[in-house]
Amino acid sequence: MAEFLCEWKTTPPHTYYQEIKYAGAANHWTWNLVDQTCQSRTYWRPFQTEFFPDLNTAVAHLTPAVHHAIQIRTLPRLSPVATYISGGMDSRVIAYAAHDPNDMIGLNLYDVPNREVAIARQICQAAGIEYVGHAREADYYPKWMRRGIEISGAMWSVEDNHFMGTLDTLQQRKIQTVLAAFPVDVLFKGVCLEQQYIQFLGRNLPFFQFTHHRSPGFMMESPARMPPPEFAAAMQVRLQDWWGELPTVLKTERDRLQVEDLRNRPCCYQPGVSDNMMFRVVPYDIFLGDRAIADCYSRIRPQWKINATLWSRVVAEICGREIVDSTRNWRPGASNSEKFFVFARDWLQRKLKSSREHQGVATQGSWSNLGWYATHSETLREMWNGVEESDRHLISQLWGSNPWSIPLEEWSHKPTLNRSGQAHNNSPYALFRLLTLVNYLSIRRSRSKALVGQ
Protein backbone atom coordinates (compact mmCIF):
# COMPACT_ATOMS: atom_id res chain seq x y z
CA MET A 1 0.00 0.00 0.00
CA ALA A 2 2.84 2.39 0.78
CA GLU A 3 4.39 1.66 -2.61
CA PHE A 4 1.07 2.34 -4.29
CA LEU A 5 0.75 5.73 -2.61
CA CYS A 6 4.32 6.68 -3.46
CA GLU A 7 5.00 5.00 -6.83
CA TRP A 8 1.41 4.43 -8.03
CA LYS A 9 2.28 0.73 -8.30
CA THR A 10 4.01 -2.08 -6.47
CA THR A 11 7.48 -3.27 -7.39
CA PRO A 12 7.40 -6.56 -9.34
CA PRO A 13 7.23 -9.43 -8.64
CA HIS A 14 5.12 -8.27 -5.68
CA THR A 15 1.44 -7.51 -6.21
CA TYR A 16 -1.27 -6.03 -4.03
CA TYR A 17 -1.87 -9.47 -2.55
CA GLN A 18 0.65 -11.46 -0.48
CA GLU A 19 -0.39 -14.77 -2.06
CA ILE A 20 -0.01 -13.62 -5.68
CA LYS A 21 3.23 -12.85 -7.48
CA TYR A 22 3.90 -11.53 -10.98
CA ALA A 23 4.24 -14.39 -13.49
CA GLY A 24 6.66 -12.52 -15.73
CA ALA A 25 6.21 -11.06 -19.20
CA ALA A 26 6.29 -13.55 -22.11
CA ASN A 27 6.48 -16.51 -19.73
CA HIS A 28 4.91 -19.92 -20.19
CA TRP A 29 4.06 -21.78 -16.96
CA THR A 30 3.32 -25.47 -16.53
CA TRP A 31 1.93 -27.10 -13.39
CA ASN A 32 2.08 -30.85 -12.83
CA LEU A 33 -0.58 -31.50 -10.21
CA VAL A 34 0.41 -35.15 -9.83
CA ASP A 35 4.05 -34.48 -9.05
CA GLN A 36 3.22 -31.09 -7.49
CA THR A 37 5.91 -29.42 -9.58
CA CYS A 38 5.95 -26.16 -11.49
CA GLN A 39 8.12 -24.99 -14.39
CA SER A 40 8.46 -21.64 -16.14
CA ARG A 41 9.93 -20.81 -19.55
CA THR A 42 10.46 -17.35 -21.06
CA TYR A 43 9.48 -17.62 -24.73
CA TRP A 44 10.39 -14.10 -25.89
CA ARG A 45 12.99 -11.56 -24.80
CA PRO A 46 13.53 -8.05 -26.13
CA PHE A 47 16.76 -6.64 -27.56
CA GLN A 48 18.05 -9.95 -28.93
CA THR A 49 18.38 -8.60 -32.49
CA GLU A 50 19.94 -5.51 -34.01
CA PHE A 51 18.18 -2.16 -34.10
CA PHE A 52 16.44 -1.11 -37.29
CA PRO A 53 19.14 0.48 -39.48
CA ASP A 54 17.28 3.80 -39.79
CA LEU A 55 14.04 5.55 -38.91
CA ASN A 56 12.43 4.93 -42.32
CA THR A 57 12.93 1.18 -41.93
CA ALA A 58 11.40 1.28 -38.45
CA VAL A 59 8.35 3.11 -39.84
CA ALA A 60 8.08 0.58 -42.67
CA HIS A 61 7.93 -2.32 -40.20
CA LEU A 62 5.84 -0.87 -37.37
CA THR A 63 3.13 0.64 -39.62
CA PRO A 64 1.87 -2.65 -41.16
CA ALA A 65 2.23 -4.42 -37.81
CA VAL A 66 -0.10 -1.89 -36.14
CA HIS A 67 -2.49 -1.85 -39.09
CA HIS A 68 -2.77 -5.65 -39.19
CA ALA A 69 -3.22 -5.92 -35.42
CA ILE A 70 -6.24 -3.59 -35.61
CA GLN A 71 -7.64 -5.22 -38.77
CA ILE A 72 -7.87 -8.69 -37.25
CA ARG A 73 -9.58 -7.32 -34.13
CA THR A 74 -12.29 -5.58 -36.13
CA LEU A 75 -13.34 -8.46 -38.41
CA PRO A 76 -17.10 -9.06 -38.88
CA ARG A 77 -17.24 -11.94 -36.38
CA LEU A 78 -15.91 -9.57 -33.68
CA SER A 79 -18.21 -6.67 -34.55
CA PRO A 80 -19.72 -4.28 -33.72
CA VAL A 81 -16.60 -2.64 -32.29
CA ALA A 82 -16.24 0.41 -30.07
CA THR A 83 -13.04 2.38 -29.68
CA TYR A 84 -12.47 5.16 -27.19
CA ILE A 85 -11.55 8.17 -29.30
CA SER A 86 -10.01 11.54 -28.53
CA GLY A 87 -8.48 14.30 -30.58
CA GLY A 88 -4.95 13.04 -29.96
CA MET A 89 -2.65 10.99 -32.16
CA ASP A 90 -2.92 7.56 -30.59
CA SER A 91 -6.58 6.57 -30.67
CA ARG A 92 -7.16 7.68 -34.26
CA VAL A 93 -5.12 4.79 -35.69
CA ILE A 94 -7.84 2.36 -34.55
CA ALA A 95 -10.51 4.31 -36.38
CA TYR A 96 -8.53 4.54 -39.61
CA ALA A 97 -7.30 0.92 -39.60
CA ALA A 98 -10.67 -0.71 -38.86
CA HIS A 99 -11.70 -3.55 -41.17
CA ASP A 100 -15.14 -2.03 -41.80
CA PRO A 101 -15.80 1.51 -40.51
CA ASN A 102 -19.54 0.83 -40.63
CA ASP A 103 -19.11 -1.70 -37.82
CA MET A 104 -17.31 0.68 -35.45
CA ILE A 105 -18.26 3.56 -33.19
CA GLY A 106 -15.89 6.13 -31.74
CA LEU A 107 -16.84 6.78 -28.11
CA ASN A 108 -15.62 10.18 -26.93
CA LEU A 109 -15.79 11.24 -23.27
CA TYR A 110 -15.97 14.93 -22.39
CA ASP A 111 -17.20 17.37 -19.76
CA VAL A 112 -18.26 20.22 -22.05
CA PRO A 113 -18.04 20.44 -25.84
CA ASN A 114 -14.59 21.84 -26.58
CA ARG A 115 -11.91 21.81 -29.26
CA GLU A 116 -10.92 18.23 -28.41
CA VAL A 117 -14.51 17.10 -29.01
CA ALA A 118 -14.58 18.87 -32.36
CA ILE A 119 -11.35 17.19 -33.49
CA ALA A 120 -12.53 13.76 -32.26
CA ARG A 121 -15.70 14.23 -34.29
CA GLN A 122 -13.64 15.30 -37.30
CA ILE A 123 -11.45 12.18 -36.99
CA CYS A 124 -14.51 9.92 -36.87
CA GLN A 125 -16.01 11.58 -39.91
CA ALA A 126 -12.78 11.31 -41.89
CA ALA A 127 -12.33 7.64 -40.92
CA GLY A 128 -15.95 6.83 -41.73
CA ILE A 129 -16.94 5.63 -38.25
CA GLU A 130 -19.88 6.83 -36.16
CA TYR A 131 -19.08 9.44 -33.51
CA VAL A 132 -20.78 8.87 -30.15
CA GLY A 133 -20.26 11.58 -27.56
CA HIS A 134 -20.56 10.77 -23.85
CA ALA A 135 -20.93 13.84 -21.65
CA ARG A 136 -19.77 13.19 -18.09
CA GLU A 137 -22.04 14.47 -15.35
CA ALA A 138 -20.61 17.03 -12.93
CA ASP A 139 -19.81 14.47 -10.20
CA TYR A 140 -18.69 11.71 -12.57
CA TYR A 141 -15.47 10.46 -10.93
CA PRO A 142 -16.69 10.44 -7.30
CA LYS A 143 -19.94 8.81 -8.43
CA TRP A 144 -18.20 5.81 -10.05
CA MET A 145 -15.31 5.60 -7.60
CA ARG A 146 -16.57 2.93 -5.21
CA ARG A 147 -17.93 0.68 -7.96
CA GLY A 148 -14.66 0.88 -9.86
CA ILE A 149 -12.71 -0.14 -6.75
CA GLU A 150 -15.05 -3.05 -6.05
CA ILE A 151 -14.33 -4.43 -9.52
CA SER A 152 -10.63 -3.61 -9.69
CA GLY A 153 -9.64 -4.61 -6.17
CA ALA A 154 -7.97 -1.19 -5.87
CA MET A 155 -5.24 -2.35 -8.25
CA TRP A 156 -4.88 1.05 -9.88
CA SER A 157 -5.73 4.64 -9.03
CA VAL A 158 -9.33 5.69 -9.52
CA GLU A 159 -8.16 8.83 -11.28
CA ASP A 160 -8.17 6.51 -14.32
CA ASN A 161 -11.69 5.24 -13.70
CA HIS A 162 -12.86 6.88 -16.90
CA PHE A 163 -15.05 4.22 -18.43
CA MET A 164 -17.46 2.80 -15.84
CA GLY A 165 -20.07 5.36 -16.86
CA THR A 166 -20.05 4.17 -20.48
CA LEU A 167 -21.04 0.55 -19.83
CA ASP A 168 -24.74 1.16 -20.57
CA THR A 169 -23.86 2.68 -23.95
CA LEU A 170 -21.73 -0.35 -24.87
CA GLN A 171 -24.50 -2.75 -23.85
CA GLN A 172 -27.20 -0.83 -25.70
CA ARG A 173 -25.07 -0.91 -28.84
CA LYS A 174 -24.43 -4.66 -28.37
CA ILE A 175 -20.70 -4.05 -28.67
CA GLN A 176 -18.69 -7.26 -29.11
CA THR A 177 -15.16 -5.79 -29.01
CA VAL A 178 -13.73 -2.73 -27.27
CA LEU A 179 -10.40 -1.26 -28.34
CA ALA A 180 -8.25 1.60 -27.05
CA ALA A 181 -4.69 2.84 -27.47
CA PHE A 182 -3.73 3.23 -23.80
CA PRO A 183 -0.17 1.75 -23.73
CA VAL A 184 1.21 3.67 -26.72
CA ASP A 185 2.83 6.27 -24.46
CA VAL A 186 4.88 3.73 -22.54
CA LEU A 187 5.77 1.47 -25.47
CA PHE A 188 6.51 3.88 -28.30
CA LYS A 189 6.65 7.43 -26.95
CA GLY A 190 9.32 7.06 -24.31
CA VAL A 191 7.50 8.29 -21.20
CA CYS A 192 9.46 5.75 -19.13
CA LEU A 193 12.84 6.87 -20.49
CA GLU A 194 15.10 9.25 -18.58
CA GLN A 195 14.40 12.58 -20.28
CA GLN A 196 13.77 16.23 -19.56
CA TYR A 197 12.37 19.23 -21.40
CA ILE A 198 14.67 21.30 -23.57
CA GLN A 199 14.52 24.88 -22.29
CA PHE A 200 14.75 28.23 -24.05
CA LEU A 201 14.97 31.46 -22.05
CA GLY A 202 13.88 29.58 -18.94
CA ARG A 203 10.74 28.13 -20.56
CA ASN A 204 10.09 24.48 -21.35
CA LEU A 205 9.89 23.76 -25.06
CA PRO A 206 7.70 20.85 -26.27
CA PHE A 207 10.82 18.77 -26.96
CA PHE A 208 12.73 16.34 -24.79
CA GLN A 209 16.36 15.38 -24.45
CA PHE A 210 17.94 12.46 -22.61
CA THR A 211 19.33 12.65 -19.10
CA HIS A 212 22.01 10.18 -18.07
CA HIS A 213 21.26 9.22 -14.46
CA ARG A 214 18.72 6.48 -13.86
CA SER A 215 15.77 7.63 -11.80
CA PRO A 216 15.39 5.52 -8.65
CA GLY A 217 11.75 4.57 -9.18
CA PHE A 218 9.08 4.20 -11.85
CA MET A 219 8.80 7.89 -12.82
CA MET A 220 5.07 8.00 -12.23
CA GLU A 221 4.92 11.46 -10.68
CA SER A 222 7.13 14.45 -11.26
CA PRO A 223 8.45 15.73 -8.95
CA ALA A 224 8.80 12.39 -7.16
CA ARG A 225 7.39 12.03 -3.67
CA MET A 226 9.53 10.87 -0.77
CA PRO A 227 8.55 7.43 0.65
CA PRO A 228 7.09 7.23 4.17
CA PRO A 229 9.90 6.77 6.73
CA GLU A 230 8.46 3.59 8.22
CA PHE A 231 8.52 1.74 4.88
CA ALA A 232 11.31 3.53 2.99
CA ALA A 233 13.98 0.87 3.66
CA ALA A 234 11.79 -2.05 2.61
CA MET A 235 10.70 -0.20 -0.53
CA GLN A 236 14.32 0.51 -1.41
CA VAL A 237 15.23 -3.19 -1.10
CA ARG A 238 12.44 -4.11 -3.49
CA LEU A 239 13.57 -1.51 -6.02
CA GLN A 240 17.17 -2.66 -5.81
CA ASP A 241 16.13 -6.27 -6.38
CA TRP A 242 14.08 -5.25 -9.43
CA TRP A 243 16.77 -3.13 -11.11
CA GLY A 244 19.46 -5.72 -10.35
CA GLU A 245 22.83 -4.94 -11.93
CA LEU A 246 21.59 -2.25 -14.29
CA PRO A 247 23.83 0.83 -14.17
CA THR A 248 22.77 4.04 -12.48
CA VAL A 249 24.57 6.07 -15.17
CA LEU A 250 23.08 5.30 -18.58
CA LYS A 251 25.77 5.31 -21.25
CA THR A 252 24.39 3.20 -24.09
CA GLU A 253 21.12 2.83 -25.97
CA ARG A 254 20.63 -0.66 -24.55
CA ASP A 255 21.13 0.66 -21.01
CA ARG A 256 18.23 3.04 -21.55
CA LEU A 257 15.98 0.45 -23.16
CA GLN A 258 16.59 -2.18 -20.50
CA VAL A 259 15.67 0.29 -17.78
CA GLU A 260 12.61 1.39 -19.74
CA ASP A 261 11.60 -2.24 -20.29
CA LEU A 262 11.59 -2.90 -16.56
CA ARG A 263 9.28 0.08 -16.11
CA ASN A 264 6.76 -0.54 -18.84
CA ARG A 265 6.72 -4.29 -19.42
CA PRO A 266 4.53 -5.69 -18.06
CA CYS A 267 1.95 -3.02 -18.77
CA CYS A 268 -0.21 -4.62 -16.07
CA TYR A 269 1.90 -2.64 -13.58
CA GLN A 270 1.16 0.69 -15.24
CA PRO A 271 -1.20 2.75 -13.05
CA GLY A 272 -2.11 5.09 -15.90
CA VAL A 273 -3.16 2.23 -18.17
CA SER A 274 -6.76 1.12 -17.78
CA ASP A 275 -6.29 -2.25 -19.54
CA ASN A 276 -6.56 -4.34 -16.37
CA MET A 277 -9.85 -2.74 -15.42
CA MET A 278 -11.19 -2.94 -18.98
CA PHE A 279 -10.61 -6.69 -19.19
CA ARG A 280 -12.89 -7.10 -16.16
CA VAL A 281 -15.88 -5.08 -17.37
CA VAL A 282 -16.03 -5.09 -21.20
CA PRO A 283 -15.07 -7.37 -24.14
CA TYR A 284 -11.71 -5.67 -24.37
CA ASP A 285 -8.70 -6.50 -26.52
CA ILE A 286 -5.30 -4.86 -26.79
CA PHE A 287 -3.89 -4.58 -30.30
CA LEU A 288 -0.41 -3.69 -29.03
CA GLY A 289 0.07 -7.24 -27.74
CA ASP A 290 0.81 -8.80 -31.14
CA ARG A 291 4.14 -10.57 -31.72
CA ALA A 292 4.99 -8.43 -34.77
CA ILE A 293 4.55 -5.27 -32.71
CA ALA A 294 6.64 -6.75 -29.88
CA ASP A 295 9.44 -7.51 -32.34
CA CYS A 296 9.36 -3.89 -33.54
CA TYR A 297 9.44 -2.68 -29.93
CA SER A 298 12.61 -4.72 -29.48
CA ARG A 299 14.39 -3.04 -32.43
CA ILE A 300 13.54 0.65 -31.93
CA ARG A 301 16.29 3.02 -30.85
CA PRO A 302 15.43 5.16 -27.82
CA GLN A 303 15.95 8.44 -29.72
CA TRP A 304 13.09 7.46 -32.05
CA LYS A 305 10.74 7.20 -29.07
CA ILE A 306 11.18 10.54 -27.34
CA ASN A 307 9.27 13.38 -28.98
CA ALA A 308 7.08 10.65 -30.57
CA THR A 309 9.35 10.74 -33.62
CA LEU A 310 8.59 7.22 -34.85
CA TRP A 311 5.01 6.96 -33.63
CA SER A 312 4.05 10.26 -35.24
CA ARG A 313 5.31 8.94 -38.59
CA VAL A 314 3.33 5.71 -38.15
CA VAL A 315 0.17 7.69 -37.40
CA ALA A 316 0.77 9.84 -40.49
CA GLU A 317 1.13 6.71 -42.66
CA ILE A 318 -2.13 5.19 -41.39
CA CYS A 319 -4.26 8.30 -40.85
CA GLY A 320 -2.77 10.98 -43.08
CA ARG A 321 -1.54 14.38 -41.99
CA GLU A 322 -4.62 16.55 -42.41
CA ILE A 323 -6.12 16.53 -38.88
CA VAL A 324 -4.00 18.08 -36.13
CA ASP A 325 -3.26 16.54 -32.76
CA SER A 326 -5.50 18.35 -30.28
CA THR A 327 -2.88 18.03 -27.53
CA ARG A 328 -0.06 19.87 -29.29
CA ASN A 329 -1.90 21.33 -32.29
CA TRP A 330 0.53 20.01 -34.88
CA ARG A 331 -0.04 17.46 -37.59
CA PRO A 332 1.09 13.82 -37.47
CA GLY A 333 4.60 13.47 -38.84
CA ALA A 334 5.39 17.16 -38.38
CA SER A 335 9.05 18.15 -38.50
CA ASN A 336 10.74 19.72 -35.48
CA SER A 337 10.76 23.12 -37.18
CA GLU A 338 7.01 22.89 -37.82
CA LYS A 339 6.41 21.84 -34.21
CA PHE A 340 8.45 24.77 -32.91
CA PHE A 341 6.53 27.21 -35.14
CA VAL A 342 3.18 25.87 -33.88
CA PHE A 343 4.35 26.03 -30.26
CA ALA A 344 5.57 29.62 -30.64
CA ARG A 345 2.38 30.71 -32.40
CA ASP A 346 0.11 29.15 -29.79
CA TRP A 347 2.19 30.52 -26.91
CA LEU A 348 1.90 34.03 -28.35
CA GLN A 349 -1.86 33.65 -28.79
CA ARG A 350 -2.24 32.56 -25.17
CA LYS A 351 -0.22 35.56 -24.00
CA LEU A 352 -2.43 37.92 -25.98
CA LYS A 353 -5.63 36.52 -24.47
CA SER A 354 -7.16 38.10 -21.39
CA SER A 355 -5.38 36.46 -18.48
CA ARG A 356 -7.48 34.48 -16.03
CA GLU A 357 -10.09 32.11 -17.39
CA HIS A 358 -12.57 30.30 -15.19
CA GLN A 359 -11.23 26.89 -14.16
CA GLY A 360 -14.07 24.40 -14.00
CA VAL A 361 -14.19 20.63 -14.15
CA ALA A 362 -13.54 20.71 -17.88
CA THR A 363 -10.08 21.05 -19.40
CA GLN A 364 -9.16 21.80 -22.99
CA GLY A 365 -8.54 18.07 -23.49
CA SER A 366 -10.41 14.81 -22.90
CA TRP A 367 -10.00 14.33 -19.18
CA SER A 368 -11.39 16.28 -16.28
CA ASN A 369 -9.64 18.74 -14.01
CA LEU A 370 -9.39 16.40 -11.03
CA GLY A 371 -8.52 19.28 -8.70
CA TRP A 372 -12.02 20.66 -9.27
CA TYR A 373 -13.53 17.74 -7.35
CA ALA A 374 -11.49 18.57 -4.25
CA THR A 375 -13.16 21.97 -4.02
CA HIS A 376 -16.62 21.33 -5.49
CA SER A 377 -17.72 17.70 -5.05
CA GLU A 378 -19.94 17.11 -2.03
CA THR A 379 -19.77 13.37 -2.72
CA LEU A 380 -16.00 13.44 -2.45
CA ARG A 381 -16.09 15.63 0.65
CA GLU A 382 -18.45 13.26 2.47
CA MET A 383 -16.26 10.32 1.46
CA TRP A 384 -13.12 12.05 2.75
CA ASN A 385 -14.61 13.26 6.02
CA GLY A 386 -16.40 9.98 6.75
CA VAL A 387 -13.26 7.81 7.00
CA GLU A 388 -13.11 5.79 10.21
CA GLU A 389 -10.40 6.62 12.72
CA SER A 390 -8.63 3.25 12.35
CA ASP A 391 -8.37 3.73 8.58
CA ARG A 392 -7.08 7.26 9.03
CA HIS A 393 -4.35 5.95 11.31
CA LEU A 394 -3.30 3.22 8.85
CA ILE A 395 -3.29 5.53 5.84
CA SER A 396 -1.32 8.15 7.75
CA GLN A 397 1.35 5.51 8.40
CA LEU A 398 1.41 4.54 4.74
CA TRP A 399 1.50 8.17 3.62
CA GLY A 400 4.13 9.31 6.14
CA SER A 401 1.96 12.04 7.66
CA ASN A 402 -1.70 12.73 8.38
CA PRO A 403 -3.43 13.68 5.08
CA TRP A 404 -6.51 14.88 6.97
CA SER A 405 -4.45 17.65 8.58
CA ILE A 406 -4.44 19.38 5.17
CA PRO A 407 -7.68 21.15 4.15
CA LEU A 408 -9.35 19.33 1.29
CA GLU A 409 -9.19 22.43 -0.92
CA GLU A 410 -5.39 22.33 -0.84
CA TRP A 411 -5.39 18.97 -2.64
CA SER A 412 -6.59 20.69 -5.80
CA HIS A 413 -3.15 21.94 -6.93
CA LYS A 414 -0.53 20.26 -9.08
CA PRO A 415 2.53 18.86 -7.24
CA THR A 416 5.32 21.37 -6.63
CA LEU A 417 8.74 21.36 -5.02
CA ASN A 418 9.44 22.94 -1.65
CA ARG A 419 12.70 24.67 -0.74
CA SER A 420 14.31 21.34 0.16
CA GLY A 421 13.64 20.01 -3.32
CA GLN A 422 10.94 17.60 -2.11
CA ALA A 423 7.49 17.31 -3.59
CA HIS A 424 4.51 18.70 -1.74
CA ASN A 425 2.19 15.81 -0.97
CA ASN A 426 -1.08 17.55 -1.70
CA SER A 427 -2.05 17.16 -5.35
CA PRO A 428 -5.27 15.88 -6.96
CA TYR A 429 -3.43 12.74 -8.16
CA ALA A 430 -2.29 12.01 -4.61
CA LEU A 431 -5.80 12.64 -3.31
CA PHE A 432 -7.29 10.12 -5.72
CA ARG A 433 -4.70 7.51 -4.73
CA LEU A 434 -5.60 8.06 -1.08
CA LEU A 435 -9.29 7.79 -1.92
CA THR A 436 -8.57 4.51 -3.71
CA LEU A 437 -7.32 3.03 -0.44
CA VAL A 438 -10.03 4.75 1.63
CA ASN A 439 -12.72 3.05 -0.43
CA TYR A 440 -10.88 -0.26 -0.60
CA LEU A 441 -10.64 -0.48 3.19
CA SER A 442 -14.30 0.44 3.53
CA ILE A 443 -15.37 -2.18 0.96
CA ARG A 444 -13.22 -4.85 2.59
CA ARG A 445 -14.75 -4.10 6.00
CA SER A 446 -18.29 -4.25 4.59
CA ARG A 447 -17.61 -7.62 2.97
CA SER A 448 -16.11 -8.99 6.20
CA LYS A 449 -19.21 -7.94 8.13
CA ALA A 450 -21.41 -9.57 5.52
CA LEU A 451 -19.49 -12.84 5.76
CA VAL A 452 -19.74 -12.79 9.54
CA GLY A 453 -23.47 -12.20 9.25
CA GLN A 454 -23.84 -15.24 6.99
**What is the structure's pLDDT at 414?**
73
**What is the structure's pLDDT at 419?**
47
**What is the structure's pLDDT at 105?**
98
**What is the structure's pLDDT at 174?**
97
Residues of the chain short of pLDDT 70, as ranges, are 222-223, 266-273, 353-359, 415-425, 454
**What is the structure's pLDDT at 222?**
66
**What is the structure's pLDDT at 424?**
57
**What is the structure's pLDDT at 272?**
58
The CATH number assigned to the domain with range 51-213+249-350+361-368 reads 3.40.50.620
For residues 17 and 440, the answer to whether their CB atoms sit within 8 Å is no
Q: Going by DSSP bridges, is the β-strand pair 37-42/27-32 parallel, antiparallel, or unpaired?
A: antiparallel
**What is the structure's pLDDT at 355?**
45
